[in-house]
Amino acid sequence: MFDYDVIVVGAGHAGCEAAVSAARLGQKVLLTTLNIENIALMPCNPAIGGPAKSCLVREIDALGGVMGVVTDATYIQMKMLNRSKGPAVRALRAQSDKKEYMSFMRHLIEAEKNIRLKQCMVTSLIVENSKVVGVVDELGLEYRANAVILTTGTSLEGKIWIGLQSIQAGRLGEASAVGLSDSLRKNGLEVKKLKTGTPARVDSRTINYDKMVIQPGDDELNFFSFLPNRPVRKQIPCYLTRTNEKTHEVIRKNLDKSPMYTGLIHGKGPRYCPSIEDKIVRFAQNPSHHIFIEPEGKDTYEVYVQGFSTSLPALAQIDMLRTLPGLENVHVIKPAYAVEYDYVPAVQLSHTLMTKKIKGLFCAGQINGTSGYEEAAAQGLIAGINASLYNDNKEMITLSRMSSYIGTLIDDLVTKDIDEPYRMLTSRSEYRLILRQDNADLRLTDIGRKVGLISDMRYDLFNKKKAAIEQEIERLKSTKVSVSDSVSEVLAKYDESMDRGMKLAELIKRPSLNYEILKELHPLTNQLGLPKEVYEQAEIELKYDGYLKRQQEQIDISDKLEKIKIPTDIDYRAIAQISTETKDKLEKIRPVTLAQAARIGGVKPADISVLMVILETRKAPKIQNSN
């Protein structure tokens, strides 16, 4: 028997964040994986970030996680998406060197003295008196710990489909994890199935890039981590091609060989990342679809065909790919496939990511029904922090929807009955004007510091940045520009003018003006030489001041409902004034606050009003103890 404080099952993006955060908080950690060579593997797209996901990565970094640092160290392309739009929807995206990312993360993990790596398959939990106390592997070895974090990805009873052929595997080339699903069921947890997939990988040497549109990285670099001195690396371009009627014809001819369309796959797939055959069927009116050709690394010919996920037979895949401009003679290195796997619906968890039925058991990542490396890493970080706090008998942290995209993600998972892989979108947050990628450190660094993951050096840098932003906002509010020929000349370049002296803060509110133009208008603004991360925040706070204030008012209203706590022993079935459907949903999810109850699908506003009256009059019926 081997003793640890925390056992993390699975070494994907959730498992790595969980293990590192717990170890840095003083826990003795065992990190298990089916294949020690695949730590932090990107089994699908070799990229980090994108809309909403970039917010998650920045928030992970602000709390003291590692995904941002590893991405910055191993990128082969950096690109700011939606640059011309407002700051709420701008999104940083990095194309990563897959092998370098894995290597960097493994070295980072091996450098943590509190982590022990183990290649094994965890087949069952050891549970005593509704509390987890350890796990057992396929060889019968027992590992004891006060907290266990399951981050099994797509491995649980995973089955790969290529056409009508299936293989027991969580991903190509790696065995599925067997036994643990049964152990979860035996301990009272519900286990269901989901489906995801990945495109083929092809040989770059067999691609004619002249027929495609080049997609270069940005000249002006941005990074995910808020740490200074991020590395400047040589960038590699991606390319754009498109499907056409020939592509669609090949797909339609082979639909009878699709495990999805023949009913062999029962798990529901991701709505926002459908297979190419699903796109052709669901969006039959579209004559073509974008396909991005993305390198998997700087020292490999392996290329990822983004947007071409499929589970059709291998021969059909070759025919499909060769209809794409530039891929007429392409060689397929690895076929695309679908994978069906077990997951634990997250309504069985609390906001801490600990299961309600088994104390000390946490779940994070795809086992909770999510898709995406960023969503997994965010959950892994919170699970690692909370497992440590649980072991230390301290209050576990929960992030609210108003504070972060991570809080939104977790609240959605534990509140809503999700039956398809969940993907983070900016539209999922009611507060996206305030929850931006650019201010994640201002929102969450204090929490990371309180937890213990933000160093003295980093916290000092953060406080200096915050003070500089405040000072610049005050300077812009108090500095006046007088009317003059030189000022009028600058404004005229941007179709602007002024007939009186104005404060810099007033000018920057104009849609056509920004901080860079203020430097032309006011010499001192240029001479200050403030870093972009400082003046960018000052500009956003002043330019969008009215919108931000209105959103803060919405947050204040929502916060009132969040503060109305629901007793843990309330008996919903004894409340005659609410519908049976609402009773069933409230009993299943057991919301912590009235606000969470209001977010449960199917719960009516009238039922929330009844609950509010009952709670305010302190007449909530209690569950009777049968003992």
Domains of the chain: 2-194+342-451 (3.50.50.60), 201-340 (2.40.30.260), 457-550 (1.10.10.1800), 563-616 (1.10.150.570)
* pLDDT of 618: 67
Rounded to 10°, the helix 405-415/53-63 angle is 110
Distance CA 80, CA 94 (A): 9
The answer to whether residues 563 and 557 touch, using CB atoms and an 8 Å cutoff, is no
Helix axes 456-478, 440-451, angle to 10 degrees: 150
In whole angstroms, what is the distance from residue 208 CA to residue 297 CA?
18
- CA-based nearest residue to 298, from 13, 92, 101: 101
pLDDT digit string (tens) for 361-379?
Answer: 999 999 999 999 999 999 9
The identity of residue 319, as a single letter, is D
Each residue of 99-142: pLDDT tens digit? 999 999 999 999 999 999 999 999 999 999 999 999 999 999 99
Mean pLDDT of 540-548: 94
CA–CA gap between residue 149 and residue 10 (Å, rounded): 9
Question: CA dihedral in degrees (471, 473, 479, 482; nearest 10)?
Answer: 150
Across the chain, mean pLDDT equals: 94
pLDDT for the residue numbered 556: 87
* Res 626 pLDDT > 60: no
pLDDT (tens digit per residue) in 170-190: 988 888 999 999 999 999 999
Q: What average pLDDT does this structure show over 154-174?
A: 93
Q: Has residue 343 got a pLDDT over 60?
A: yes
pLDDT greater than 70 at residue 516: yes
Whether the predicted pLDDT of 610 surpasses 90: no
How far are the Cα atoms of 101, 226, 319, 347, 367 from residue 400, in angstroms, in the given order? 31, 22, 48, 16, 22
Q: How far apart are CA 468 and CA 459, in angstroms?
A: 14
What is the mean pLDDT of the segment spanning 217-223?
A: 96
**Residue 534, CA atoms < 13 Å, CB-side half-sphere:** 21
Residue spans of alpha helices (H) in 283-397: 314-321, 373-391
Torsion 328-334-335-338 (CA) sign: negative
Query: For residues 39 and 336, what is the distance between their CA atoms, to the nearest angstrom?
Result: 21
What is the tens place of the pLDDT at every residue in 448-459? Answer: 999 999 999 999
Which tokens go with 167?
Answer: 């293989």
Looking up tokens 């459908």 gives 274
What does the pLDDT read at residue 139? 97
What phi and psi values does residue 425 have, to the nearest 5 degrees? -130, 150
pLDDT confidence tier of residue 62, bands split at 50, 70 and 90:
very high
**DSSP assignment, residue 83?**
T
427-477 residue pLDDT tens: 999 999 999 999 999 999 999 999 999 999 999 999 999 999 999 999 999
Res. 608 pLDDT band, cuts 50 70 90:
confident
Give the predicted TM-score (pTM) of the model: 0.95
